[in-house]
Structure 1
């Protein structure tokens, strides 16, 4: 069976809602990421060597037909390149990477681009009854951002309540969440200052660094914030990720194709897994997922060198860390400042930044 490897990567900086990247659509951001990826890999977009493109994209309303194809074509790929948009909400772009790896391992494709793109700033509003000829008021407008991205389709509750649920189930305190968020922002700022993220990101529209990092966060400043989703809860704007704009992409190839085209092997995709849970407990899904993945490979948490939990709410990260027995002092990536609550594949950072550094040690 062919081995799936990652040969190149690229991402935009992540912009705040209505911030520096709000002038770009999701497909424009996606095209930038794909184009930069190809340039870094030294691949001529018109060469036809890219077999497939999979792009995660949640807020597709108003983007036009086939957003993934728009991104690929605008990056210069030929019209003969098959493209597919993937919507698995928060896991969309990671699922795109899984699909890419599966195609490589099955021998269906040799070189696949996988990524994600989102412009939460440009998510439109919609009216349900407009096509029925009924009179519609402004009050009837619904936000696509909320309806399709930030609200549980089954309970009707804001997804932030899922953060409150996991915090309650595992007795995570507000102080724990705030402390985790402060550390996360501090580490993100340090990573930029020390050049860790220079290789994975490229400037867009004058934005050179992630826009939402708050290195001056403190327990005093965070403790004064009001909770967002429930009285007496703990989820605040300070211990949650921002609403973001951005895009990213990775080149997944077979080892044979990588060697043939002179591409570096930055990481190997050994295995992957997904799990399903009740919608109001979605933040707990990583627990069975990680356990099933480790069991299938005959491994334990002690066998893993670098860990990442990419989540919008610090409370969820605290809970997952506790349940899986992960100590704070082991190498890990805690990307609350980077998080796009919908889809962007930031985080093949295990392959992007962590793995090469670990190998060099």
Structure 2
């Protein structure tokens, strides 16, 4: 039996209008209004997620929704911004179902409420082929305080939030040649791949203490290279890069996976450069916010890519620095 499916306006009213925030007019208009708080700048970012690249086609729709919003909010967190709302572009394939859309909208509702980021509008349409999913997020910072990607200076300390490599390992262990991890460790790593946790609680500490910051989305090695510029490079101690117990177990079973952990991407942690005089205060504020941060290296004067130092102070080489779409 062919499922009877609602039209565009009915879909919006049923699944997305309940998520609408102030200024969205219940998604009954062609545009929303958004006014930043007095003395604040808007910060805007957009990311698409693609089946087979950012998620598995058979992932639960609620998980896909949470990831779509989470990866964008991670960019806001690294800029020191507070979320204000988001736009959703959703182009559905021919085989979409009401059950899938109900699960997707429920996951989107849970994420938007958890992160304080309501839906402002967007576009729902039919795709010519595979599903298209894109989110644009708006945030705000006190005027002139957005933390830029570049701006690190020699002597700054490099710090990262959380742990590195979990998501990339979570992707690997779903393959045929995966190491034989215990059930709990597998669950931790796969969850990190499916459900990024944007470090929004770190935003105010970044504004006060970081000279440069970005989120680690394509791999620590390559993303650090993107953060450098203006006559500086960096030196990172590989042994100091924070790894979760689950990741450590995976590396014990297959040490070659270290390169995957450092270059694979999907971490959605914050990488930042902090002046030495600010380091103790930054750590204290991060701890108070409930976010672990770890010092992993130093910004140095010079040119060229960052150096990752392994055992015996030997430079460690990687076949690639980060994930690339092209």
TM-score surpassing 0.5? no
Bigger strand share:
2
Work out which structure has the larger RCO, using CA pairs closer than 8 Å and 6 or more positions apart in sequence. Answer: 1
